[in-house]
Structure 1
Amino acid sequence: MIHEVDEALRRLVRDEALRGSDLDVAFDAPTKDWAARRNAPTVNIYLYDIREDMRRRQRGLLNEYDAQGKVASRQLPPRHMKLSYLVTAWTQRPEDEHRLLSDLLIGFLRYDAVPPRLLTGSLEELALPVPMTVALPPPEDRAFADVWSALGGELKPSLDVVVSAPVSSGRKFAAGPPAREGVELHTGEERVRHNVSADGVGMRKVAR
């Protein structure tokens, strides 16, 4: 699932935000060593945090139906994982980097979710929205300065892009046989069956 979100973001940057540009798109950690090896203008999309989106967790089970329209199995609802990306532009001049960041920001702001045409693999199969936010304030337990400190680099202008991607747990449960129609009452002397139909309730004696 993560690599499918990576590919969707790569295509969104190249085909939408920076259409017509031949900039490289990298997913490496933007450390000092990486920056020193870079030899072309680059947009870096670094995945720095993965955690469950608890606001989107659902309870209960989802039905799966067979060709006859009967419940064949039940499965747990998909869970949503928040993938947080640090998006930076790398060129020789800060002015060019700021221009790129502006184009990237406008490109991401066009969408509240990853466009379905960019989804592949399991994300395409689930056919669920993949919400996306950009440049929101970080949670209280995380600061971007801490991310840069962990990377061993200097603080750099960046965009925080968060994608909430659904993922199937893969846990399925076989459905039991369909319920029998009607209700049988055992009185000891005889067995009476109630048959419920579209035009009312009927009662008939079955056996003594």
Structure 2
Amino acid sequence: MIHEIDEALRGLLTPAVAGDLAFDAPTRDWAARRNAPTLNAYLYDIREDVARRERGAQAERDVHGVVTRRRQPPRWFRLSYLVTAWTSRPEDEHRLLSGALALLLPHEVLPAEAVPESVRRISTALPISVAVPPAESRSLADIWSALGGELKPSLDVVITTPFPVAPVYDVAPPVTEAEIVVRGADGVPGDARPRIVRRAAAPGTASGARDGSGA
């Protein structure tokens, strides 16, 4: 799933740079090897969006509306990218970042064509935020210190995506016929032998349901 979001972000940012687009950790050694203008989107944080967590199983239905499987609801995760520009001149880096910002700002969610195929059955609205101040528990300065580099201008890009949860449970086929056992009333001679009456079950009747009186 994460690599698919990488590719979705790549599709959005590619028009902003005539050089390279990378997803590497921007360490000192990596920066020293750059020999072309580069826009880098480093995935530095993955956190569950607990406000979106749901409880209980969800039903999957076929084209006729019949429940065929049940699964646990998906969990949503916030993927945070540190987007930076790398050239030999600060002015060119600012130009790259400006181009990236211009491409990202029009989108509150990923464009429909950029949403990975694997999550479209769950949701086609994947929120994206750009340059929103990070949570208090995170500091971009700390990230740069961990990378061993110097602080650079950057864009904090966060994409929230669902992640399917296993297992998936198959359900029994729906009931298509019900069975009713009819007994004679007390005190009626010769009518005590049970009789079986079959009729079509109502649409949507749960599998294994039995309708009867005294059976």
TM range (shorter): 0.7 to 0.9
- Provide the rounded CA distance (Å) in 2 between the counterparts of 1:135 and 1:41: 22
Partner of residue 25, structure 1: 21
**Counterparts of 1:157 and 1:166, CA distance in 2:** 29
Pick one of 43, 58, 62 that aligns with 1:47.
Answer: 43
Which amino acid is 2:3 matched to? H
1:32 and 1:153 in contact (8 A); partners too: yes
- 5+ residue gaps, structure 1: 192-196, 198-204
Question: Going by fraction, where is strand more abundant, 1 or 2?
Answer: 1
Q: Does 1:14 align with 2:10?
A: no
Choose the corresponding residue for 1:91, options 87, 91, 94.
Answer: 87
Cα distance change, pair 177–93 in 1 and its aligned pair in 2 (3 A): same
Structure 2 residue matching 1:162: 3-state secondary structure: strand
- In structure 2, which of residues 62, 65, 73 is the aligned counterpart of residue 69 of structure 1? 65
- Counterpart CA distance in 1 for 2:127 and 2:36 is 31
Q: 1:161 — aligned with what?
A: 157
- Answer yes or no: is the 8 Å Cα contact 2:68–2:173 preserved in 1: no
Residue in structure 2 matched with residue 202 of structure 1 by the alignment: none
What CA deviation, in whole Å up to 9, does each residue of 1:5-34 have, x standing for no partner? 00111110014xx2xx42200011000000
> In 1, distance between residues paired with 2:47 and 2:12?
23
> C-alpha displacement at 1:182, in angstroms?
11
Tell me how far 1:176 sits from its aligned partner: 4.8
CA change 1:206–1:162 in 2 (3 A) is: closer
Structure 2 residue runs without a partner (length 5+): 187-191, 195-201, 203-211
Q: Could you tell me which amino acid in structure 2 is paired with residue 30 of structure 1?
A: P
Q: Is the contact made by 2:115 and 2:124 (CA closer than 8 Å) also made in structure 1?
A: no
Identity over aligned pairs, percent: 52
Change (3 A) 1:182 1:82: farther
Larger radius of gyration: 2
Match of 1:133 among 126, 129, 133: 129
TM superposition shift of 1:120 = 3.1
CA gap of 1:158–1:206, structure 2 versus 1, over 3 A, is closer
Match for 2:97 among 74, 94, 101? 101
The answer to which of 122-131 and 139-148 deviates more is: 122-131
Cα distance in 2, alignment partners of residues 101 and 63 from structure 1:
44
Give the conservation status (yes or no) of the 8 Å contact 1:128–1:166.
Answer: no
Whole-Å separation in 2 of the counterparts to 1:98 and 1:133? 20
TM-score, normalised to structure 1's length? 0.81
Residues 4/113 of structure 1: CA separation in 2 closer, same or farther (3 Å cut): same
RMSD: 3.1
Q: CA deviation at 1:119?
A: 2.7
